[in-house]
């Protein structure tokens, strides 16, 4: 035994990685990354009406909720220490049209929710998206003219919608429609309207992904979509193009950057953080959430451990925070610890 030990020491040069893993206290002491409640942003889905929690079949444990229920949820999230919510509306079909004109209604569903949440829970952040897909009859993120999503006309509309969202109490505008020039236009519009303190979290690298399916069910756009979104979302094969896209957003005034989806694009998270040093976020999207929930429901994985491991992976990849439908579950888990 002594000879074998001596031989191992010669081979390893007396370096033994397991020394720092020998006990719980040493593992905790040398842990490089930690997940805290401060890392969590909770996306929620809104529906019209009052007193309604409506389950989303493709996203077990996630509900669409009316504004009054969203306020209750915001209070609970704030009590758990979650810093911010991200709101997404599912409006009535009769309000959707070719141009997404309801996005410009000052008292539309998303703005009513922002006002109500900020009034009741002023210490929680509200992040809103100005993409048009929840408002269009065709399910695209911009204005459809013929067979083309028109860039500049869409940018004009989302910039105006951003001002209305800021008026209603949004703290951060997070434009996800991926039109060219949108960040600069939104920044200019917000500043002109006196909203210099409202931030912009750019969906800097939103990929043309197959992971969005349950989200489209949640906002009822899946059956509406004509064609696909490949003319404005980024090809999943293109990492360098994604960095170039983010560079333009930084130059136009983005305060924060987001990568969407999350786990398949950890390399992009790392590259953006290294390149720009800005606060960088990942969106663990609906498909990622649904896969974990489905596998856990079938007993194939330990759902809680996988949930925590995936979120920690975002931290290791350089993210400052994560938009995740697991936010409340994680916050409760951390509170128990």
337 part of the active site:
no
| Residue-by-residue DSSP string for 29-53 | HH------GGGEEEEEEE-SSSS-E
| Residue-by-residue DSSP string for 295-329 | HHHTTSS-HHHHHHHHHHHHHHTT-SEEEETTHHH
Token couple for 285: 């999207």
CA atoms within 13 A on the CB side of 134: 26
Contact 271, 247 (CB under 8 A): no
Contact 330, 41 (CB under 8 A): no
Token couple for 263: 């786990």
Report the distance separating Cα 259 and Cα 113, nearest Å.
25
| Residue-by-residue DSSP string for 214-246 | HHHHHTT-TTT--S-STTTSBPTT-HHHHHHHH
Token couple for 281: 């976020």
Residues 6+ apart with CB under 8 A from 22: none
Indicate which residue of 69, 118, 206, 315 is catalytic: 206
Token couple for 2: 């002594």
Indicate which residue of 260, 273, 293, 315 is catalytic: 260
Q: Which helix H or strand E contains 272, and what residues bound it?
A: helix 266-276
118 part of the active site:
no
Known catalytic residues are 206, 260
């Amino acid at each position: 035994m002594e000879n074998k030990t001596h031989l191992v020491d010669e081979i390893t040069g007396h370096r033994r990685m397991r020394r720092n893993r020998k006990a719980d206290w040493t593992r905790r002491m040398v842990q490089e990354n930690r997940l805290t409640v401060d890392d969590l942003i909770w996306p929620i889905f809104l529906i019209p009406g009052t007193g309604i929690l409506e389950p989303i079949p493709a996203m077990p444990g996630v509900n669409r909720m009316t504004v009054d229920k969203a306020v209750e949820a915001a209070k609970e999230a704030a009590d758990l220490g979650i810093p911010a919510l991200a709101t997404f509306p599912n409006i009535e079909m009769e309000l959707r049209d070719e141009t997404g004109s309801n996005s410009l209604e000052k008292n539309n569903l998303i703005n009513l929710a922002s006002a109500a949440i900020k009034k009741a829970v002023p210490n929680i952040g509200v992040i809103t998206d100005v993409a048009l897909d929840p408002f269009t009859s065709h399910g695209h993120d911009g204005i459809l003219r013929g067979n083309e999503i028109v860039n500049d006309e869409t940018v004009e509309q989302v910039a105006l919608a951003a001002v209305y969202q800021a008026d209603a109490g949004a703290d951060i505008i997070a434009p996800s429609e991926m039109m060219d020039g949108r960040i600069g236009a939104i920044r200019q519009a917000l500043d002109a309207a006196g909203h210099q303190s409202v931030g912009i979290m750019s969906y800097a690298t939103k990929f043309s992904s197959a992971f969005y399916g349950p989200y489209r069910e949640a906002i009822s756009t899946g059956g509406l979509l004509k064609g696909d979104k490949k003319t404005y979302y980024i090809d999943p094969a293109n990492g360098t193009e994604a960095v170039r896209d983010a560079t333009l957003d930084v130059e136009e005034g983005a305060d924060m950057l987001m990568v969407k989806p999350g786990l398949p694009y950890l390399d992009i998270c790392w590259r953006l953080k290294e390149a720009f040093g800005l606060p960088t976020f990942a969106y663990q999207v609906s498909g990622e959430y649904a896969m974990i929930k489905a596998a856990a429901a079938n007993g194939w994985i330990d759902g809680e451990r996988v949930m925590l491991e995936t979120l920690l992976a975002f931290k290791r990849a350089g993210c400052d925070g994560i938009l995740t439908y697991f936010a409340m579950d994680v916050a409760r888990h951390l509170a128990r610890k």
